[in-house]
Chains A and B, each alone.
Chain A
Amino acid sequence: MKIDKGLLGGSTVLMLLSLLRENDMYGYEIIRELEQRSEQTFQFKEGTLYPVLHKLENNGYVRSYLATGDTGKQRKYYKITESGLKQLAEEKRTWQVFSASVNKVLGGEVHAFAR
């Protein structure tokens, strides 16, 4: 939970694991997906992705393997594991509680400060 320094903040692990649940991906592919899906909102220093991926691998949430893709180039792919799927569910729940709480605060501020 404290591995997100340097990337996008608290939701990094959530986003990475969600992407990898759909497909095995290599690093550059992950960056491109993040950029495109967020409509370029998320642009960051790309190299900082790798410490996070390697941390996820050390934690057993993903594992990596070398494979040759459609271009004939050998690449290092990441694949989500059983325990990664569990972690994803956990992170999703945390995120929902967090965002719901923030929304409550935002929605409630008028009443809270109107005297």
Chain B
Amino acid sequence: MPSPGREEFLGKVLHQIRFPFDRASIRSELSDHISERVDHYLELGYDQEDAEQAAVSDMGDPTQIGIELNKEHSPLLGWLWKASGLLLGTVIVLNVLFVVPLIGMSLFSHYTANTIESEIVYEVSVDETVRLDDRVIHFSKVIFDTGGNLHIFYQHYDVRFRSGWSFGNIGTITDNLGNTYRGGGKGEDGGLLRRGHRVVSGFSPEANMLFVKYDHYNRKYEVTVPLPVGDGRE
């Protein structure tokens, strides 16, 4: 149970994080850490209140930690830095970026589905953020339905706060069984923060790992999502 001391600590850390998108994940990571330390102190025989207090004090100075974390979570600064030196290169890359997703969108648009029509077999929350140049993509949820469709939900935005192009192709979808899947994506209009939803049909119900790999024009990322599978499988 969170104590006022813990809330105060987390509040002071998050106060330093100027980029709201990352606050929730920072909060839960630090709060989880404190919980583990509290359990440790409880095992040593502390009472709840003392354990909370000791665990929070072990963390260190929240403002200092917040300032350091903010440096790692500030895409706007990253952009300014980039702009100072790489303006020409960026312009060329952006032109390429404009074309690729547009082609991707038109190719795949007939596959798109906006809602999940079958029943949900499993749902996994994901918290993975990747970056392609000035575009930040945050994967949030994976749903597998009884129709054999795997739905990958993500949000994306441009760190320069322009609404710009859609982002249709999140990459190649594979699983731990060696299957590669093709499927449609749909970018929904959402202003600066856009939502995407990619549907992969015929996804293996046996797979317990999902991989999303992007590798174009020397820009790459890879996202791994562990999937819950039926009884008796590890």
Contact = CB atoms under 8 A, between A and B. Distances in A.
Contacts, number: 76
A30 to B, nearest CB: 10
A5 B29 CA distance: 21
Given A47-B59, A47-B62, A65-B128, A54 B72 contact: yes
B115 to A, nearest CB: 25
A63 to B, nearest CB: 8
Contacts of A26: 32
A71 B109 CA distance: 42
Summarize B's interface: helix, strand, loop or mixed.
helix
A107 B8 CA distance: 51
A27 B68 contact: no
B116 interface: no
Nearest to A59: B72
Contact of B32 (A48, A64, A65, A75): A75
Interface centre among B32, B36, B127, B226 (most CB of A within 10 A): B36
A58 interface: yes
A114 B58 CA distance: 47
A48 B72 contact: no
Contacts of B13: 47
Interface size class of A (residues with CB under 8 A): 20 to 34
B125 A51 contact: no
Given A28-B32, A76-B29, A47 B125 contact: no
Interface in B96-152: 125-128
Interface residues of B, number: 31
A27 B58 contact: no
Nearest to B58: A46
Nearest to B28: A76
B182 interface: no
Contacts of A64: 128
A19 to B, nearest CB: 16
B37 interface: yes
Nearest to B127: A66
B163 interface: no
B73 A54 contact: yes
Interface of B: 13, 25-26, 28-30, 32-33, 36-37, 58-62, 64-65, 68-69, 71-73, 125-128, 222-226
29 contacts: A6-B64, A26-B32, A28-B32, A28-B33, A31-B33, A45-B61, A45-B65, A46-B33, A46-B37, A46-B60, A47-B33, A47-B59, A48-B65, A48-B68, A50-B33, A51-B68, A51-B69, A51-B72, A55-B72, A57-B72, A58-B72, A63-B224, A65-B128, A65-B225, A65-B226, A73-B32, A74-B125, A76-B28, A76-B127
